[in-house]
Copies of this chain bind each other. A is one copy, B any other.
Amino acid sequence: MFLTQVFKKGLLATLSLIMCTQACAASVQLVEKKRFEIENFKTFGGKTIKQVQVGWESYGTLNQAKDNVVLITHYFSATSHAAGKYHPDDATPGYWNAIIGPGKAIDTDKYFVLSVDTLANLNAYDPNVITTGPASINPDTGKHYGLTFPVVTIRDFVNVQKTLLESLGVTKLHAVVGGSMGSMQALDWATAYPEWVPRMISVIGSGQSDAWTTALLEKWAVPIQLDANWKSGDYYNSTPPSQGLTAALMFITQDALTPTFFNKTGEGIGYFALEDAPLNDIRQQHSIVKWLKERAQSRAKLMDANHLLYLVRASQLYMAGHSGDMKQALSSVKAKSLFLPSFNDLLLMPYLAKDAANSLEQHHKNTTYRELTGDLGHLNGVVGIEQAASDISAFLADK
């Protein structure tokens, strides 16, 4: 039992992204969240959102030429907290702390590394997140937007970032680097604003959402929409659809991992096909399901269900360049590109990154494709990113 507990805690810590020993804690940089506002933001879909506010944070120093910016675009369930800690006693640092910091692959002694909370960020109730989305108050009505919030796209996230960078006097990036939904932003950046982007790194990414991925993402929306507390998104003065949101997070966790990881986890928690409780009572569940649910319930507390629906939609509508033709749009790219999909990714399967890389090669662009390894599937690109440290470092240093 004790060993089971230890093993379980070990796995939970792995999923909490990075275990930090005392030795590493000392070297973690402290960061602070900043606020950026856009008075009137016009969406890709042609709607206007007033008083858009987003949070952002940075690591390292902007040089005088303002040409050392590495923009980090975040994944679906993440925030702009890519590295460092807000307080020395934070349990964990930002999700890519293994590769962002002084002397690390994305070296903050050289680069001004910056990251921005997306619109409709999932973690709407995290005190360290600033975002504008359906859970925000519409200044015109004084009420929560709910589903009256306009559909937003990956391009909108990019445009918010660009407006923020321009406000800092930046006119060109050193590189844009993103994982998963962040990879969508990174490649869209390189396609939409080629003069800005000399280097692009797509981690566990894709060039567009195909029919398969669109249907897969829809599964995450389904439990929220079925929850009676969802009320077509109008739940801000009543009980929120926590059961639906929890179920969506359970789905996301499984989609982002692998049988190998789940089966090891199952061993740790004592999973057994013929468990007594689910055999004796249809209302009971297997230990692996309870494990997933407990984890999801805990994560759901700082998240907003409508925001999840909007991020699903943004991801479904994704096509690099946001024109009618991804392959054609990629002809405008000027960046050198590095694709780092995960070989056993069941969420954004490697063929998606391969298709984008192949299209760039057909346009004679400088493109490198290398698959990440590990037992974690999609999360090889988050928890397992350190394996690509030297590739990323060399790619960024290259002229």
Contact = CB atoms under 8 A, between A and B. Distances in A.
| Secondary structure of the A contact surface, majority rule | helix
Contact of A251 (B219, B262, B274, B275): B219
A244 interface: yes
A313 interface: yes
B313 A266 contact: no
Nearest to A280: B45
A394 interface: no
Interface string A279-309: 1111101101100100000000000000001
A282 B147 CA distance: 7
B279 A211 contact: no
Contacts of A212: 254, 258-259, 262-263, 266
Contact of A274 (B274, B288, B322): B322
A213 B292 CA distance: 13
A62 interface: no
A310 B289 contact: no
Of A266, A272, A274, A346, most buried by chain B (CB within 10 Å of CB) is A274
A55 to B, nearest CB: 23
Nearest to A244: B226
Contact of A266 (B211, B218, B280): B211
A222 interface: yes
B289 A214 contact: yes
A210 B349 CA distance: 22
From A215, A267, A322, residue with most partner B Cβ within 10 Å: A215
Contacts of A313: 278, 282
B209 A278 contact: no
Contacts of A45: 279-280
B222 A262 contact: no
Contact of A243 (B226, B254, B262): B226
A283 B313 CA distance: 10
Given A226-B226, A280-B45, A215 B349 contact: no
Interface string A199-218: 00000000011111111101
A234 to B, nearest CB: 12
Contacts of A292: 215
B218 A285 contact: yes
A37 B309 CA distance: 48
Interface of A: 44-45, 147, 149, 151, 153, 208-216, 218-219, 222-223, 226-228, 232-233, 243-244, 247, 250-251, 254, 258-259, 262-263, 265-267, 271-275, 278-283, 285-286, 288-289, 292, 309-310, 313, 316-319, 322, 324, 326, 346, 349, 351
19 contacts: A149-B282, A151-B278, A210-B263, A210-B266, A211-B263, A211-B271, A211-B286, A212-B262, A213-B259, A214-B271, A214-B288, A215-B286, A216-B254, A223-B223, A226-B227, A228-B228, A273-B316, A273-B317, A273-B326
Given A210-B273, A211-B262, A273-B316, 6 more contacts: A45-B280, A208-B273, A212-B258, A219-B219, A259-B349, A274-B324
